[in-house]
Amino acid sequence: MRKLKWVFLGAAGVAVIVFVGWNLYKASRPPASPAPVESEGVPARVYGRLEPAGGEVYVSPPVTRSVEEIRVTEGEVVAQGEVLCVLERDVEEARFRVAEARVASLRKSVELERDTFERRGELFATGRISEYEYTQAKLAAELAARNLQVANGELALARAELAQLELRSPVAGVVYKMDLRLGETIRAGDNTKIVVGGRGYWVRLFVESFWVDRVREGTAYKVYDAETGAYVGLGKVVERKPYLGGRDFQSDDLRERFDTKFQEVILDLEPAREGLPLGLSVVAELAPPN
């Protein structure tokens, strides 16, 4: 019995050693590579959003002020530089008028001092006044000219401060958003109230790096509403951005990866209907290459 006991204990010890050794061996080996994804023949679902042609341009004020005038409405076509709205500017107008009056006064002063200097020059040339009197007239004329130069700079600054309270369209296109009311206060840097952009639609797609070889300029893809599946229009590839990066939104598609890089691809959209909302989340299916 004693011998059987020792045989049993020895066998158990060997089994433990083999088990531990086998697990250490497996732990030391690199993990197995995942099975390759079979992508041939599978359409790629690519997400993006609807933009005005050329992208949105956000117009924001440099200072916090109330709205005094609204000169355009949503959907209106505007020229580059056209005034969209005017902010409260009583202080700036008063400062501009004061600067304008000072410039006018100093111009007269410069003319008078210049005439005095010229007369003193004639008198000095004939010896009827001293060099000191001539020099004083010259210095007075130069000082008046410098004062006018400074005043002109102050007038230009006052004009610029007044002009910045007229918010103008930076591009020729359409007013897509004008979310303002008369008397409403708009804060400096608030770019959520006014949006303008080019006429027509773009689709900005974010294509996973895994699928970028399927995108070719000139190729057309059907575009759908990402939420309802409704047909939005036909988009033709017009540009591929020359870099890969992140993305500023996520979709609800559980099959989509977010741990990858994306290439921005621009489609020129032929819309299926009028009045498509900008910012609409869309999806396109990139067919496998032929």
pLDDT digits over 106-116, tens only? 999 999 999 99
Cα 205 vs. chain centroid, distance in angstroms? 17
pLDDT mean over 146-172 = 95
3-state secondary structure of 153: helix
Residue 70 has pLDDT above 90, yes or no: yes
CA distance 45 to 206: 10
CA distance 114 to 111: 5
Q: What is the tens place of the pLDDT at every residue in 207-249? A: 888 888 888 888 888 999 999 999 999 999 999 988 887 766 5
In 3D, which of 227, 271, 220 has the Cα closest to residue 249?
227
**Which token pair is 258?**
């977010």
Set out the domains of the chain in order of their start, with CATH numbers.
44-55+197-286 (2.40.30.170), 90-163 (1.10.287)
- Spell out the residues 6+ positions from residue 166 whose beta carbon is closer than 8 angstroms to its own: 83, 85, 86, 87
Percent of the chain past pLDDT 90, that is, above it, reads 60
Q: Which amino acid is at 112?
A: L
Model confidence band, residue 34 (pLDDT cutoffs 50, 70, 90): very low
Long-range contacts of residues 77-82, Cβ cutoff 8 Å, at least 24 apart = 77/173, 77/174, 77/199, 78/169, 78/172, 78/173, 78/174, 78/175, 78/196, 79/169, 79/172, 80/169, 80/170, 80/171, 80/172, 81/168, 81/169, 82/168, 82/169
CA distance 131 to 125: 9
Report the side by side order of strands in the sheet with 194-197.
Answer: 57-59, 194-197, 173-178, 77-78
How much is the pLDDT for 27?
58
Q: Are 55 and 61 in contact (CB under 8 A)?
A: no
Q: Could you tell me which residue, 122 or 25, shows the higher pLDDT? A: 122
3-state secondary structure of 254: coil
Return the number of other C-beta atoms located less than 10 Å from residue 151's C-beta.
20
Q: Are 57 and 170 in contact (CB under 8 A)?
A: yes
